[in-house]
């Protein structure tokens, strides 16, 4: 996620001059020499103004309208960047475009008046226009720096498909979430950094019956018993809530991962309260579980829990499909 890359004001003014200088030669007019000269200068002024205006417009319109973003980003972005200041910077660009417009209108009016028939006056008038316009643009320096900085931060924001149905993987460490993500999406998960924590997201996608589904693992958030989330983690959770369509809760029926079934069930219950959406419970590592372990897990988590494991085809995607509420 990012917006139009913004040139520093000095650079912008320089490029506008270069652009204005490169104008193709005018076809020969039948006016007097003074009139021809004036026209040439006016054309340069117009080209200069137009270049600046276009660039500034492109910058301004590419700054995201925060209030129109998906709630996932509305939750996340203010943690990373000063949204209010970014909006202000964008509105400064709007004001500057208006000021520049006034410069070109006045500048042209001046150029068309007889007072500039004298070459010295003509040059003074155009120099005034270029000088003023340039310093108006340069007054944006701080604002443009702020937008440039916001843009680098924006590049870090995970490119999550906010409109896509999204499965969130949950469960204690080593229960097999990453393995399951790979199994579901068939590819190496894409790692994206949360911009504001040391934590990262893992994203993968699969398509089923022409529908795309996003699968997301959120290490450090939905894999721990500590419910004391710090303010930033709370934000991350709130953002996830806007995104999640279904939670896939992964249980390890063996004691290998180091968490008792009771502990895993307690985490499941806590997360259920946090996410009022459908849950699919996956009993993973069935290939290395005893019958007793499986029975006990079903007793705790219910008979609907899906059995998964290496070499086992549980039809997990079908379960997920139903949980997502899609019909066939
Ligand atoms: N036998 C067996 N091992 C598995 C299965 N799924 C994952 N594992 C192993 O369990 C360990 C932890 O898996 P991982 O996907 O990293 O767990 P995560 O911490 O929840 O992401 C790894 O050594 C995996 O190879 C499974 O279905 N069967
Ligand atoms: Mg993992």
Residues 47-78: pLDDT tens digits? 999 999 999 999 898 888 888 889 998 988 88
> What pLDDT score was predicted for residue 220?
83
Cβ–ligand 1 contact at 117 (below 6 Å): no
- pLDDT band (50, 70, 90) for residue 189: low
Are residues 272 and 279 in contact, defined by beta-carbon separation less than 8 angstroms?
yes
Are residues 150 and 195 in contact, defined by beta-carbon separation less than 8 angstroms?
no
Ligand 1 atom 13: residue of nearest CA: 176
Are residues 144 and 6 in contact, defined by beta-carbon separation less than 8 angstroms?
yes
Q: Which atom of ligand 1 is nearest to the CA of 250?
A: 20
- pLDDT band (50, 70, 90) for residue 29: low
Identical fold at 9-156 and 166-323? Answer: no
Name the residue of 176, 183, 218, 249 whose CB sits within 8 Å of the most ligand 1 atoms, as the mutation to test its pocket.
176
Q: Which CATH number is associated with domain 9-156?
A: 1.20.120.1190
**Hunting for tokens 């993973």 — which residue is that?**
284
Ligand with the closest atom to the CA of 218: 2
> What pLDDT score was predicted for residue 23?
84
Instruction: Say whether 38 sits in a helix, a strand or coil.
Output: helix
Cβ–ligand 1 contact at 173 (below 6 Å): yes
Cβ–ligand 1 contact at 310 (below 6 Å): yes
Instruction: Quote the ligand 2 centre to 219 CA distance (angstroms).
Output: 7
**Hunting for tokens 């103004």 — which residue is that?**
49
Could you report the per-residue pLDDT of 142-155, keeping only the tens digit for each?
Answer: 999 999 888 888 88
> What pLDDT score was predicted for residue 176?
93
Cβ–ligand 1 contact at 225 (below 6 Å): no
Instruction: Quote the ligand 2 centre to 296 CA distance (angstroms).
Output: 25
For residue 269, give every residue at least 6 positions away whose Cβ sits within 8 Å of its Cβ, in sequence order, or none: none
Could you report the per-residue pLDDT of 105-122, keeping only the tens digit for each?
Answer: 999 999 999 988 888 899
Query: Rounded CA gap, 133 and 124, in Å?
Result: 14
Q: What is the pTM of this model?
A: 0.79
Query: Rounded CA gap, 52 and 137, in Å?
Result: 8
- pLDDT band (50, 70, 90) for residue 1: low
Work out whether strand 211-217 and strand 166-170 pair parallel, antiparallel, or are unpaired: parallel
List the chain domain ranges: 9-156, 166-323
Domain 166-323 sits in CATH 3.50.30.30? no
Torsion angles phi and psi, residue 186, rounded to 5:
70, 10
Distance of CA 8 to the CA centre of its chain: 23
Instruction: Quote the ligand 1 centre to 199 CA distance (angstroms).
Output: 20
Instruction: Quote the ligand 1 centre to 222 CA distance (angstroms).
Output: 17
Cβ–ligand 1 contact at 212 (below 6 Å): no
């Amino acid at each position: 996620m990012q917006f139009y890359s913004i040139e520093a004001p000095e650079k912008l003014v320089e490029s506008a001059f270069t652009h204005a200088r490169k104008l193709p030669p005018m076809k020969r007019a039948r006016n007097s020499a003074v009139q021809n000269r004036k026209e040439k200068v006016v054309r340069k002024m117009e080209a200069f103004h137009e270049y600046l205006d276009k660039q500034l417009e492109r910058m301004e319109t590419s700054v995201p309208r925060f209030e129109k973003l998906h709630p996932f980003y509305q939750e996340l972005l203010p943690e990373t960047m000063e949204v209010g200041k970014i909006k202000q910077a964008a509105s400064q660009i709007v004001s500057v475009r208006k000021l520049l417009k006034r410069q070109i209108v006045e500048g042209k009016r001046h150029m068309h008046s007889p007072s500039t028939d004298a070459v010295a006056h003509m040059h003074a008038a155009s120099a005034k226009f270029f000088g003023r316009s340039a310093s108006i643009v340069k007054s944006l320096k701080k604002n443009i720096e702020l937008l440039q900085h916001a843009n680098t931060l924006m590049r870090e924001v995970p490119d999550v498909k906010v409109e896509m149905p999204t499965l969130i993987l949950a469960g204690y460490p080593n229960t097999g979430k990453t393995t399951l993500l790979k199994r579901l999406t068939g590819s190496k998960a894409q790692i994206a950094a949360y911009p504001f924590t040391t934590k990262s997201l893992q994203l993968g996608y699969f398509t089923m019956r022409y529908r795309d589904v996003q699968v997301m693992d959120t290490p450090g958030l939905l894999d721990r018993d500590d419910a004391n989330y710090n303010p930033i983690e709370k934000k991350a959770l709130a953002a996830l809530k806007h995104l999640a369509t279904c939670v896939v809760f992964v249980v390890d029926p063996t004691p290998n991962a180091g968490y008792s079934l009771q502990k895993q069930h307690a985490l499941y219950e806590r997360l259920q309260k946090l996410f009022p959406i459908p849950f699919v419970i996956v009993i993973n590592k069935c290939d290395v579980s005893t019958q007793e372990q499986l029975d006990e897990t079903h007793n705790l988590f219910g008979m609907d829990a899906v059995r998964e494991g290496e070499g086992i085809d549980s039809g997990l995607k079908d379960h997920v499909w139903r949980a997502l509420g899609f019909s066939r």
